[in-house]
Chains A and B, each alone.
Chain A
Amino acid sequence: VQLVESGGGVVQPGGSLRLSCAASGFTFSTYAIHWVRQAPGKGLEWVAVISYDGYNTYYADSVKGRFTISRDNSKSTVFLQMNTLRSEDTGVYYCAKGSSGNYFDAFHFWGQGTMVTVSS
């Protein structure tokens, strides 16, 4: 199992960024995928999840209405479109998955993360 995030960088407040999570080593289309973030020196915060088929998505209240999670099963990739970025969105963004296909599962596998910095 491998999860590889990309797309991080520096963006001004109010700007947008799209993160990608490229997956391999498992049947991608049968697993929900999560995004989790970590502000510098802080703890972990779950951000969003997308169902295996892309029809169901859920978000943390802190990003609802600003972030959109999507997936392309033909490319084994999950995306996180981040709009109206704020300084408090700064941090490392990880994608993660469980060992089963359902929501009631711990995060058994993690990517290495991609850094997002929101600053003027």
Chain B
Amino acid sequence: EIVLTQSPGTLSLSPGERATLSCRASQSVSNSYLAWYQQKPGQAPRLLIYGATRRATGIPDRFSGSGSGTDFTLTISRLEPEDFAVYYCQQYGSSPLYTFGQGTKLEIK
């Protein structure tokens, strides 16, 4: 089983700043089958990025993903007030077993 470790656990930033979230895998993620989700309180997760770099439908271009192998990054170029939430990475390369990271909470400074 691939273990995903996200860092930092909590990130405190101000609107307009740049956010960089990390996701490290315990072994290489096949074909960069790595996704990022955003979750706000009381809501279901929303897919932001899949295939490590591809934005999901309707996701603003301030969200971008990068990385391959074992190291992946989600970048939010300029934070908007609605971006403060919890973010999860997920690998779906060792299917049919899927694993999520423990999450990074992005909070307003």
Task: Please list the residues of chain A having a beta carbon within 8 angstroms of any beta carbon in chain B.
Answer: 34, 43-46, 49, 56, 58, 60, 94, 103-108, 110-113
Contact of B44 (CB < 8 Å), options: A43, A45, A105, A113: A113
A110 to B90, CA, bound (A): 15
Main SS class of interface, B: loop
B72: CB under 8 A from chain A?
Answer: no
| Size of interface on B: residues with Cβ below 8 Å to A | 26
Task: Please list the residues of chain B having a beta carbon within 8 angstroms of any beta carbon in chain A.
Answer: 31, 33, 35, 37, 39, 44-47, 50-51, 56-57, 88, 90, 92-93, 95-103
Q: Are B35 and A107 in contact (CB under 8 A)?
A: yes
Shortest Cβ gap from B56 to chain A (Å): 6
Contact of B47 (CB < 8 Å), options: A58, A108, A112: A108
Q: Are B45 and A104 in contact (CB under 8 A)?
A: no
Q: Are B35 and A106 in contact (CB under 8 A)?
A: yes
Main SS class of interface, A: loop
A60 to B98, CA, bound (A): 9
| Contact of A107 with B47 at beta-carbon distance under 8 Å, contacts A43-B88, A44-B88 already known | yes
Q: Are B47 and A106 in contact (CB under 8 A)?
A: yes
| Contact of A44 with B100 at beta-carbon distance under 8 Å, contacts A106-B35, A108-B56 already known | yes
Nearest B-chain residue to A105, judged by Cβ? B92
A104 to B100, CA, bound (A): 15
Shortest Cβ gap from A108 to chain B (Å): 5
Q: Are B93 and A43 in contact (CB under 8 A)?
A: no
